[in-house]
Amino acid sequence: MSNQPNAEQILQNIFQNVKVGGDLTTGDITQIGSLFVVTPDNPKKIEFAKKLVAIEVLSNISNLDARIGFVEESLTEDTFQGQLAIVRNKIAPALEQTASSSYNRLILQQTVASLRQALNSRPLKIESATPLVNIFTESALNAELVRYFYNHLIDVQDVTESLLRVVSDAASSNFDNETMLNYYKHRISLEINRLKNRSEITHLSGLRVLNSLDINLSDVNIELGTLIYLQPHQLVNDIEIETFLEKSIRKAEQLLSERQSLLTEGKELLSKALQEYEDINKLLEIKATDTWSEVVGKAISLRQLGRTTEAVAAFYRYGEIFSATDPTAKRYSQTAQQFTTQHQNFGVQGGVYIYEMVDGGKAMLAGIAVGDIVIDYAGRSIKGMDDLVCALRDALTGELVRITYLRMQDDGNFIRKTQTIVHGVLGVGFVPI
């Protein structure tokens, strides 16, 4: 085990040399967080103020460094393995429902929660700013460097919240577009770099405060030497600090420019997504001039996108448009509406609807009826006409196959039924549903 003192011990070492004499009840009482500090009048009050500022600055620098480590460990490239999901919730809530349980969304959501918890374990003590500045001012010391340090500390806090917001946005956004995935990866990477940059500037401003105190801080370099991410790891003179600051400020300006470009790109991508959403809506709009297959195709598309209410309305419109010329349209319309609201109960996405039958055909003899919805044939899941065509083609004529279908009852609810039939000409007419 290392014999090096930890941060708390170092701060105690710094603080224990402050000798306070006289009647403390006549001194000033200052509250810093939950700590009430009684300080004597000058000149010992000045020495006390310097020590107190040193403790707070070192504590905040240590926490800044630890917080960068939390971010580094939490937001790695592994966070973005795979795609975030399929499409925005407004366009396809059904696919969004699937994506909400996906690995990527879960990881991002957990990352935000765990990262915030870790950051809260090493808080930035911003509330100490006002009392410390007041102590310096009352002690006729230069308070500007202290105020400058805490202003940067507030900036770090703001950038941290910005990072967490971007990660939260990524966790709640779902795209099958590689451009959008890369956009969020760049946004998060940029926010991480901004946080590091602001932390570096704050660290350097803290070193300037420590230099200005003009007190014996022999243990300070031990504390600074424990830093992992922030540079430098020891006290340096103000000239060297300025060199570091110039480099960090140039980096901050570069990051600001990158952020503005990314925000512009984000607005353009959002505008494009909204336009695509509008185009989809136009394509799915039911028109009186649509053919029966166009209406059915649009209704099925709406259901697949999770827009159930609109899908039901589209199937209802089917009945309105075609009942006058097609005697099978009304029953199909009613069955399709009920199927659209219940299909998930049976774990299916679609099926094929039997709209007519040949008397004495194989299907009729097996007990299958008009209005039934076939969802499985010969072991093949039937989601649409393509699946049925393949299943009928692949089965051998004369072999026994199982056919599973849904039948709507008088109360509008479906039941699942299975029959065994001899494969061949079934004697039925099918349409997608």
pLDDT in tens, 15-60: 444 333 333 333 444 444 444 444 445 567 777 778 888 889 999 9
Percent of the chain with pLDDT strictly greater than 70:
79
Closest to 388 in 3D by CA, of 371, 373, 410:
373
Closest to 204 in 3D by CA, of 166, 174, 231:
231
- Residue 286 CB partners (closer than 8 Å, separation 6+): 295, 298, 299, 314, 317
From 279, 296, 318, give the residue that closes a domain: 279
Flag whether 1 is in a domain.
no
Give the mean pLDDT of 347-372.
Answer: 92
**Tens of pLDDT along 182-196?**
788 888 889 999 999
Flag whether 111 is in a domain.
yes
Same-domain check for residues 303 and 354: no
Flag whether 2 is in a domain.
no
Mean pLDDT lowest among 103-117, 365-379, 412-426: 103-117
Q: In the predicted model, what is the mean pLDDT of the chain? A: 80
Number of structural domains in the chain: 3
Model-level pTM greater than 0.75? Answer: no
Same-domain check for residues 167 and 26: yes
Same-domain check for residues 23 and 143: yes
Q: Is the pLDDT of residue 65 over 60?
A: yes
Give the mean pLDDT of 391-405.
Answer: 91
Flag whether 100 is in a domain.
yes
Please check whether residue 73 is in contact with residue 235, taking contact to mean a CB–CB distance below 8 angstroms.
no
Same-domain check for residues 300 and 311: yes
Flag whether 392 is in a domain.
yes
Measure the CA–CA gap between 58 and 135, rounded to whole angstroms. 18
Same-domain check for residues 307 and 204: no
Please check whether residue 221 is in contact with residue 235, taking contact to mean a CB–CB distance below 8 angstroms.
yes
Same-domain check for residues 352 and 340: no
Terminal alpha carbon distance of the chain: 71
Q: Which domain holds residue 227?
A: 7-279
Same-domain check for residues 329 and 360: no
Q: Is the pLDDT of residue 290 over 70?
A: yes
- Residue 217 CB partners (closer than 8 Å, separation 6+): 14, 54, 210, 235
Same-domain check for residues 378 and 288: no
Same-domain check for residues 228 and 86: yes
From 264, 279, 294, give the residue that closes a domain: 279
Mean pLDDT lowest among 12-26, 62-76, 212-226, 359-373: 12-26
pLDDT of residue 38: 42
Same-domain check for residues 274 and 421: no
From 347, 371, 394, give the residue that closes a domain: 347
Same-domain check for residues 259 and 362: no
Closest to 58 in 3D by CA, of 132, 116, 119, 144:
132
Mean pLDDT lowest among 55-64, 280-289, 311-320: 280-289
Residue 381: CATH number of its domain: 2.30.42.10
Flag whether 330 is in a domain.
yes
Same-domain check for residues 184 and 290: no
Instruction: For residue 332, name the pLDDT band (cuts at 50, 70, 90).
Output: very high
Q: Is the pLDDT of residue 134 over 70?
A: yes
